[in-house]
Amino acid sequence: MNVAMENMRKGEMSIIIIKNIGIDETTQNKTQSLAYYVIKLIDWTTVVDLDQDFNYMKKVLQRGVGNERYSEPDEITCNFVL
């Protein structure tokens, strides 16, 4: 499913068909079925991996104003929500 969604654009609607092969427990025969999913990609939120090791992830919930960023000697005030 992820592979299909990676190739979609915002607002696009697609039908995803997934072939499922299994074994019937009573007869030990192979069974095949198809699952059809209708997916519409509405929107997404970009997640940034800060250290490229999946330990520190950042998701912007609300954009800030301006282009200024703090630098090392500055003091910052922030709120944490866990």
Q: In this predicted model, what pLDDT tens digit does every residue of 40-69 receive, in sequence order? A: 999 888 888 999 888 999 888 888 888 888
For residue 34, the Cα-to-chain-centroid distance in whole angstroms is 24
What is the chain's mean pLDDT, rounded? 86
* pLDDT given at position 66: 85
Residue 1 pLDDT > 80: no
**Domain residue limits, the chain:** 2-59
**pTM: predicted TM-score of the whole model, two decimal places:** 0.51
Q: How far are the Cα atoms of 20, 39, 50, 55 from residue 2, in angstroms, in the given order?
A: 16, 11, 22, 21
Residue 23 pLDDT > 90: no
Tokens of 7: 């190739």
